Every structure is written in structure tokens, then in C-alpha cells.
Structure 1
Amino acid sequence: MFVSAADPHYATFKCQLPTPCTPHFWFQGIANLTNLASFELYVPKGIPSTFASFLQEMARLCEKLKRLKLVVDKPPGRGSCPMPSFATPVIEALTLFHNLSYLTLYASSISDTSLMLLLKMRNLRRLKLRTNFPIDLLTIAYLRNAIHEVVIEKYRPE
């Protein structure tokens, strides 16, 4: 696991999941992060099928988490990589982070249906999306009505 924070109880904890990576490894890694306020996760090689379970457990353990950034298949320091989509179970798992106020998602595409699930997140104040595919204007309107600041960027390879 790539970690750039010295103490998991303060500031931002940044990590990159190794591949292949088992759910046991993930759960073992987050068990000590209960006081975490900010978390950045880089997931290389696409999202494993058990990633939603990992996020559900993380939401349960990291109740104080305020900021979350998920970057899929674009690890730090590597040029452009194809970015897969966030499946609906992953977005559903994100809604379990009840205290989350800042959410950043980088992926190839996120369905409009999945994005509408984010409306359940009452404390969400800022949503930043970077995606290759356009998002429906009605979905954007709903998000902007419910969330104070919504930033949508088109992904462009570096």
C-alpha cells in the first residue's frame, strides 16, 4: 500500500491499493483509521468486485470522515490511463458516509441513476466529478439544487 501520511489520525491519509488486492488486506488497513478526517484512494487496474464492501466497512469504521477522494485507474505520477466507471453498488456504499461534506470522484463514466443516489447524502457540501462522458442536464440540475457546490470536469489525458 502506498501511504503518504505519517499519522492516520491527522490530516489526509493517501493510499494506493496494490494489485492484486484482497478484501482482507483492505479491512486490515482501515481498522486503525477511525479518527480519520480526509482520505484519498487511488485504485489501479479498475475497481475490484468487492470494492463496495470495502467502502461499506470504511463508512462504518470511519464515522468522522469529512473528505473523500476516489481516483480509479489513474494512480499518482503515471500519465493517462483509461478510467473505468463507478458501478451503482459503489455509489450506494458512498451514501453510507453520513458526515461526508466533500466528495471527489474521477472515473470514465458514472451513470445518471448512480449520481442521483448521491442526493441521499444530506451533509454533502461539495461534489467534484471528472468523467469522460456527459452527464444529463436534468441530473446536473438536481445535484446543484441539493449540493452547495458541484464541479464537473471532462477528463482529459495529461
Structure 2
Amino acid sequence: MPKCGVCAAAVSRYDDSIICASSSCAQTFHTKCLDVSLESLQALKTSGNIKVWRCDACKLKHNLIPPTTESSNTESPSIVVAGNGSVAWCNADIAWCNADIENIVSTKVKYAINIITEDIINLLRREIKLMSGNNNALSIELSELKKEVQNLKSENHELKDVVNNLKPQY
């Protein structure tokens, strides 16, 4: 028994349901989970448009991917019930699309920021490692210079003693 793409509950053959026509999806949905009225469902069945109905996720995919010659004639309509009870068809629910586009853009921006942040952190780590290596090399060189200065002081002290011993004493 298929599960509803919204509530994940089982969809029996006695439930009012609709199946996404997208071959890559074919998900079943309770009409109540989609807020599709019985009149709208009946209108879909009567008009034959139930065979091309697509879920919101597939509509979004379909609208963002350039249409091919095969899919351009099977665009899934959304249902809009007018005030007089007649059913009109439109290609997309603009508010839904805008919200999803904002969501997608937000997700992509966050992803890009994370990648850039990781790149910057990795660059800083490499720079710190390089500076640390340079610092260690300079520390070693400084230690060697200190030893050399100490040796020179010692040698200077010895030479002073030798010079003092060579001076005549009056």
C-alpha cells in the first residue's frame, strides 16, 4: 500500500488520493493533505488532467529545468477554484514558487558561504603553519647567534687575560 508524500500514512484505494504524473516521482498523496477539494479532484478526473498532475516538488523541478520537446506539452496545471465555483487552470502558484525559490536561494547562499568560509579557514591554517615554521627557524637561528655571542664573550675574556699577562708590570 503506498504512503502519502505529505503525511506518510498509508493511502488505501478507498481514500481520495492523487498520484504525481512525473515518472521520476509517481508519489501518491491524500487530497486532504494537499488541500484539494473533492470538486477540484472530480474536475481533474473529468477533464483528464489528473493524468498530467504533478506534485509541488516536481512542478518546481519542471519549472526550473528548461523544457524539452517531450515535456513542454505536459506541464502540470495547478487548480484554482474561482468565486463562482468554476475551476480555472494556471501554470504555477506564484506565492508557492516565490517561497520555494527564496528557500532554494537561501540554501545555496548558505552552502556557498560555508564553502567560502572553509576555504578561508584552510588558507589561514596554511598561513599559520608557514608562519609557525618561519618562527621556529628564526628561534633556532636566534639560539645559535646567542651561543656565538656567548662564545665570543668568552674568547674576548680569555684574550684580555692574555693581554694583561703580557703587559709589563711597573
Q: TM-score, normalised by structure 2?
A: 0.20
Greater Rg by CA = 2
Q: Identify which of structures 1 and 2 has the higher relative contact order when contacts are C-alpha pairs closer than 8 Å and 6+ apart.
A: 1
Give the number of the structure whose residues are more often helix, by fraction: 2
Give the number of the structure whose residues are more often strand, by fraction: 1
